[in-house]
């Protein structure tokens, strides 16, 4: 079950006795847990009917006793177990999970891992409760997720602004939402987020970023590529080399795959390779300029400089110098 589906049910006052939130992506787990803690009960009910435990310090017997207690001045009580992955004797909770109280909403966060599906606990959770199993989003899923997040807040974002935002922040969903909220506060009555907004409120240059470097390389524009690298050299936090190289590798990997397709139709290529249609022209331009063997050499070159960036076969060359050297070789 998805995090949004759980919260949607709760808004309709539809509850199950047990919710088990597990996996790698803390954002979705925290979202559900925060709602359970602050929204299920009203202010007067919370004082008597909200109990919070933390796995590292929690005793399984106290948790079960809290879950088996009947609510006061309310028809529901909420019991939260946070950081359950740090709790000893977690399997002792099976006794309660097997026969839960309908008046208790027991919500457990079990971060960074998942319960072994072969265990009795996993089977009971599946039978008696709701399991939210999360995983990190892939990089190619981030633009769509961010776009949907912004739409859910009643706003839109331009394609370039979306790419700037996602490429700058990376796979940190909480930070993406925080930065989006920061932008929205400053938009006043305007509904569309532009690249100027991202530049002003997030602190990423709309003219000097990995996306613009990628565009320069796609068209073999060496002066522009060097200009961008010089900006990175003067602003080391803008785009560290450890961020630049994987982004370029991802771009040219898709260019490499375009050579294996039987079509150059923009919509078909975008759909086949999960590329944002707004940027498909850059990929196709690169595929026209760089032949199949060319792209193969570029990927090997990027791998080589990735090793150099972590000190392998490199006697201390500065990052900007490595990038300039690599770009010369790529375009040559």
Please say whether the structural domain 210-331 has been given the CATH code 1.20.272.10: yes
**Cβ-based neighbours of 217, under 8 Å, separated by 6 or more:** 225, 248, 286, 327, 330, 331
Express as a percent the part of the chain with pLDDT over 90: 78
Is the pLDDT at 226 greater than 80, yes or no?
yes
Which residue's structure tokens are 């787990």? 29
| Range(s) within the chain of domains with CATH label 1.10.8.60 | 139-202
- From 278, 304, 287, 289, select the one nearest 211 (Cα to Cα): 278
- Global pTM reads 0.80
The confidence score (pLDDT) of residue 219 equals 93
CATH no. for 139-202: 1.10.8.60
| Range(s) within the chain of domains with CATH label 1.20.272.10 | 210-331
Contact 76, 49 (CB under 8 A): yes
| CA distance linking residue 75 with residue 257, whole number of Å | 58
pLDDT digits (tens, 9 = 90+) for 32-83: 999 999 999 999 999 999 999 999 999 999 999 999 999 999 999 999 999 9
Is the pLDDT at 1 greater than 70, yes or no?
no
**Distance between terminal CA atoms of the chain?**
51
∠ CA 210-312-227, rounded to 5° = 25
Contact 50, 37 (CB under 8 A): yes
Q: Which of the four pLDDT bands, split at 50, 70 and 90, describes residue 270?
A: confident
| Range(s) within the chain of domains with CATH label 3.40.50.300 | 3-134
**Cβ-based neighbours of 298, under 8 Å, separated by 6 or more:** 252, 290, 330
- From 34, 4, 255, 282, select the one nearest 145 (Cα to Cα): 4
**272 or 29, which is more confident?**
29
The confidence score (pLDDT) of residue 22 equals 97
Is the pLDDT at 278 greater than 80, yes or no?
no
The confidence score (pLDDT) of residue 132 equals 96
CATH class of 3-134: alpha beta
Q: Is the dihedral of CA 54, 57, 60, 64 positive or negative?
A: negative
């Amino acid at each position: 079950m998805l995090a949004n589906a759980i919260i949607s049910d709760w808004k309709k006052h539809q509850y199950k006795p047990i919710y088990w939130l597990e996996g790698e992506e803390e954002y979705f787990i925290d979202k559900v847990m925060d709602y359970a803690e602050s929204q299920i009960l009203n202010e007067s009910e919370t004082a008597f009917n909200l109990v919070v435990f933390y796995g590292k310090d929690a005793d399984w017997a106290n948790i079960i006793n809290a879950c088996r207690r009947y609510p006061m001045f309310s028809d529901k009580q909420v019991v939260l177990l946070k950081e359950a992955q740090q709790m000893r004797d977690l399997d002792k909770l099976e006794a309660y999970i097997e026969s839960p109280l309908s008046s208790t909403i027991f919500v457990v966060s079990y971060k960074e891992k998942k319960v072994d599906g072969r265990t009795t606990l996993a089977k009971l959770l599946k039978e008696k409760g709701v399991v939210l199993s999360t995983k990190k989003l892939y990089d190619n899923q981030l633009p769509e997720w961010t776009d949907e997040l912004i739409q859910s807040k009643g706003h839109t974002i331009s394609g370039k602004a979306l790419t700037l935002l996602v490429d700058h922040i990376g796979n940190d969903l909480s930070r993406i939402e925080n930065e989006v909220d920061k932008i929205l506060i400053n938009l006043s009555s305007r509904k569309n987020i532009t690249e100027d907004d991202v530049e002003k409120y997030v602190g990423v240059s709309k003219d000097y970023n990995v996306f613009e470097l990628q565009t320069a390389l796609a068209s073999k524009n060496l002066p522009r590529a060097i200009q961008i690298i010089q900006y990175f050299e003067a602003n080391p936090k803008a785009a560290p080399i450890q961020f630049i190289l994987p982004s370029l590798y991802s771009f040219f990997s898709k260019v490499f795959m375009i050579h294996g397709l039987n079509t150059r139709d923009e919509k078909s290529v975008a759909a086949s390779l999960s590329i944002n249609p707004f940027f498909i022209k850059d990929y196709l331009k690169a595929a026209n300029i760089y032949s199949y063997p060319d792209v193969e050499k570029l990927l090997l070159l990027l791998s080589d400089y990735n090793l150099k960036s972590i000190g392998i076969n490199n006697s201390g060359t500065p990052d900007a110098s490595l990038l300039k050297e690599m770009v010369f070789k790529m375009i040559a």
